[in-house]
Structure 1
């Protein structure tokens, strides 16, 4: 498959290198030829000097045959304009845009443009380290008020079933990771030490669900 990347900063160069390692063809667009020095030696993809929202530069990069487009330059406005040009002019639906402003990122998500909010993601990662106990939000649907969160368990829950936890929290165990493998648990699955648990909850109840999970399990569940 062919991919076009706008922006050859650290993110764009790393993304381009990873895609080529997986056997895909890649074209990278950047207005500064010096930026291409960030690409690894022997990079087999195409280097296009120009603006990522310029029609001629996009065509030169092969956008008409592209499976996907990533706008990861350092400018929110440039990324947004490029994403809209690629979607609306060239009909590429698989478009991902990096947006620094989290408020604007939410707006463009609602317009159907997949966004990665750099600031929001960084804050969440720092928060996870500062406060190791959750809830840690993996995914939020703001309009519906639903989220998937990583939940930490008090050791007393080990040996109890998934249904026990769901009954106590009034939330749903979406999936868990055990020994590095993800699984969709049945209600009867017994929780074990080391399980990484993710639950679907009403967003405004995420804190309450985590507090229940952080406290000892009740014997009468």
Structure 2
């Protein structure tokens, strides 16, 4: 039997809520965090994970969520700098091995990659998927 992950998803916008709901449906232990309690409405009625209302960039809130036992932390707030801070706290202070911040700004993406953290960058993912779907080649002739 596959080991169940303990995932903290911070930010219940469209991406964070969909991810948290999907992970919980797959049988993983999920804690969804958002500063707005009404954000949890996006999780759906069958979400069986935990919800925590609070600031996910706060060490106290992270500890309340069980960050010391987490296998994964996904920082999916609407703010790149906040996601970067959460990623740093989770990986450097709490030692979470799999930290995935959602980032749009290419400068932050490069900083995270230099630190050894793999960011989730929607426009890069969409660009790669575009080239995959169309069969067009990227500059330099390399296909993705």
Q: Please indicate, yes or no, whether the TM-score normalized by the shorter chain is above 0.5.
A: yes
Which protein is richer in helix relative to its size? 2
- Aligned position for 1:26: 30
- Aligned with residue 60 of structure 1, among 64, 84, 108: 64
Counterpart check, 1:45 vs 2:38 = no
Query: Which stretch has the larger CA shift, 101-110 or 37-46?
Result: 101-110
TM-score norm. by structure 1 comes to 0.58
Work out which structure has the larger RCO, using CA pairs closer than 8 Å and 6 or more positions apart in sequence: 2
Return 5+ residue gaps in structure 1 as ranges.
137-203, 211-221
C-alpha offsets along residues 66-114 of structure 1, whole Å, 9 cap, x if unaligned? 1110011111011000000111111112101110112320221111111
- Aligned position for 1:135: 137
Counterpart check, 1:71 vs 2:79 = no
Tell me the distance in 1 between the aligned counterparts of 2:131 and 2:27.
36
* Alignment: residue pair count: 139
| Paired residues of 2:75 and 2:87 also in contact (CA < 8 A) | yes
Tell me the distance in 1 between the aligned counterparts of 2:47 and 2:124.
31
- Aligned position for 1:14: 18
| Paired residues of 2:57 and 2:86 also in contact (CA < 8 A) | yes
Pick closer, same or farther for the CA change 1:116–1:106 going to 2, 3 Å. Answer: same
Which secondary structure does the structure 1 equivalent of 2:7 belong to? strand
C-alpha offsets along residues 121-150 of structure 1, whole Å, 9 cap, x if unaligned? 233444556xx23336xxxxxxxxxxxxxx
- Aligned position for 1:143: none
- Aligned with residue 87 of structure 2, among 79, 83, 89: 83
Q: Hey, which bits of structure 1, 4+ residues long, moved more than 6 A? A: none
Which secondary structure does the structure 1 equivalent of 2:102 belong to? strand
TM-score norm. by structure 2 comes to 0.87
Which secondary structure does the structure 2 equivalent of 1:96 belong to? strand
Query: Which structure is larger by alpha-carbon Rg, 1 or 2?
Result: 1
Tell me the distance in 2 between the aligned counterparts of 1:133 and 1:54.
44
Return 5+ residue gaps in structure 2 as ranges.
none
RMSD (Å) for aligned C-alpha atoms? 1.9
| Paired residues of 1:102 and 1:119 also in contact (CA < 8 A) | no
